[in-house]
Chain A
Amino acid sequence: MSGLRKESWGGFHPASATDYLPVAKLRQLQFQRLQRMVKRAYENVELFRQRMEERNLVPENLKSIEDVTKLPFTVKTDLRDTYPFGLFASPMEDIVRVHASSGTTGKPTVVAYTQADIDVWANVMKRTFLACGLHAGDIIQNAYGYGLFTGGLGAHYGAEALGATVIPISGGNTDRQIMLMKDFGANAICCTPSYFLHLSERAIEGGIDFRSLPLRAGVFGAEPWTEAMRVRIEALTGIKAFDIYGLSEIIGPGVGSECLEQGGLHIFEDHFLAEIIDPETCEPVPDGEEGELVLTTLSKEAMPMIRYRTRDVTCKIPEPCACGRTICRIKRIGRRSDDMFIIRGVNVFPSQVETALLQVEGTLPHYQIILTREKDLDQMEVQVEVTAELIGDTVGAVEELRKKLSQAVERTLGIRAALRLVEPHTIQRSEGKAKRVIDKRQFK
């Protein structure tokens, strides 16, 4: 098996050509696409047109790429408020696919793709794999979940476009993952970094050393992780671990990816315009300064996103990357500008846990969410203080209540959560905003 192939000037894969465009040319391309995108959204999306009108703006007011800052922001609740199809800019007959979030606050957020969008998606995921040193002929085990979640199909189409052989195993079933990885000789795996650590530890328990397998690259995303975790994964398994970035509102995985330098994530800027803003003032911050990442799709047809506030905190890295790519680089996402957290690839807001608890007895008890990592898998425990309404005098009644609360949380979030009842006044009260989430996971 060949190793990870380094791309260099004059030697890059043709599909990656736009990664190396001269910056002036790239900005020109972005501006042309932005004009088209804004016009499309203005003509087809009611909410966007309203917001433009409130600002006395028409698409023709855009005179340069910098004018993007005049445009209104889009936020996650806009997707929910227009559920299911309110932000679509294409007629349904042109839409070939929809994906949706786990729908943890009642209604899911829906995103749509035309055939051209699917092609763009396959292209950016192909470039992601190329940036991670993979190429045609590789065998890629895709352990991202297939289905409404964008991870599985996004990586799948990209890997096929690359000319790789895809093992579409989807998530879960750890022992089977290890068996197929070994028997099929996978070179690369796509999954969350925590799941990969879990896989490798289970493999070691079963006497399988990943270093003796052809596996050499991990394309990891869908949750925040750290440099320390990369060091651990690479030392434990001998693979190169790459961080990728994406979100369904923009396209899914494929918004950005690390390259072999592993020094930040390149954003595929010909399709996604990246701004960094101060989350309080909403003003742009200078390159190199931390802020919230705001993304605008430049070629999406079915669902253009204008200045989408990702709530992910990062910064642009001003220095050019040693790989030669000219598209911008952002630092690994470390935290968010809101209280959302990601557990096992699922976005969770504490308010969703609140909604679930409220359903059970009609009162909101004091609660706290404790996140830990056991055997490299995220664990979530919801601690709920008992109240006069909640307490019973029999073990059965209390256990029944605990079960009801636990089921409500699982039903609402779509992920398993332990629920522990605690004595009154044991959860720390804070002045002002309650500290709802205690994150003890090691990547913090």
Chain B
Amino acid sequence: MNVKQLSLFLENKPAHLKVPCQVLAKEGINILTLSLADTDQFGILRIIVNDWQRAVDALEKTGHVVKVTDVLAVEVEDRPGGLVDLLEIIDEANLNIDYMYAFTFGQANRATMVFRFRDPDSAIRALEAKGVNVLNTVALADRTVH
């Protein structure tokens, strides 16, 4: 049920973000969502794509170093308080969120969030036990088709 996230180390300099994006564009790989963590010296670009294995190959072939991490794509109701309800569940399960960001797309009244937990597998078990919908890569890809 995990989703693969690719992380790239980037120096905090003009045009450094563009290069890996160009590599993916050339391969016809679509970025489903991304987030960028920044410090004054460097940044970490995290991306979720429709074909992660091909993306890793293409990036590595062009000299990038890619780290693949399991993250959780979790559905949350798209209404005031929807995220709070989810965070309550996460709290109760005693899980710590390393970082999170959102998908650009939603479906009807549901948004999708990305969570990075230290131990993704036990996080999935804990969340699903509470009835939270954790999406897999196939389900994610489906949502971006239309």
Contacts and interface: CB of A to CB of B under 8 A. Distances in A.
A398 interface: yes
Interface stretch (A191-199, A300-308, A420-428): A420-428
Given A391-B7, A421-B9, A423-B9, A398 B44 contact: yes
Given A424-B63, A425-B63, A394 B9 contact: no
A391 B41 contact: no
A385 to B, nearest CB: 8
A386 interface: yes
Nearest to B71: A393
B42, B63, B99: most-surrounded residue (chain A CB, <10 A) = B42
A251 to B, nearest CB: 44
Contacts of B37: 394-395
B39 interface: yes
Nearest to A424: B65
- What's the interface size class on B, roughly? 20 to 34
Given A424-B64, A424-B65, A394 B98 contact: yes
Contacts of B112: none
Contact of B39 (A386, A387, A399): A399
Query: What range describes how many residues of A lie at the interface?
Result: 10 to 19
Q: Is the interface of B mostly helix, strand, loop or mixed?
A: strand
Interface string B48-77: 000000000000000111110100000000
Contact of B67 (A388, A395, A420): A388
Interface of A: 386-388, 391-395, 398-399, 420-426
Interface of B: 5, 7, 9-11, 16, 37-39, 41-42, 44, 46, 63-67, 69, 98-99, 116
23 contacts: A386-B9, A388-B65, A388-B66, A388-B67, A391-B7, A391-B9, A391-B67, A393-B7, A393-B44, A393-B69, A393-B116, A394-B37, A394-B99, A394-B116, A395-B37, A398-B9, A398-B42, A421-B9, A421-B42, A422-B11, A423-B9, A424-B63, A424-B65
Given A394-B99, A424-B9, 19 more contacts: A386-B9, A387-B65, A388-B67, A391-B7, A392-B7, A392-B44, A393-B7, A394-B37, A394-B44, A395-B38, A395-B44, A398-B9, A398-B42, A420-B41, A421-B9, A421-B41, A421-B42, A423-B16, A424-B63
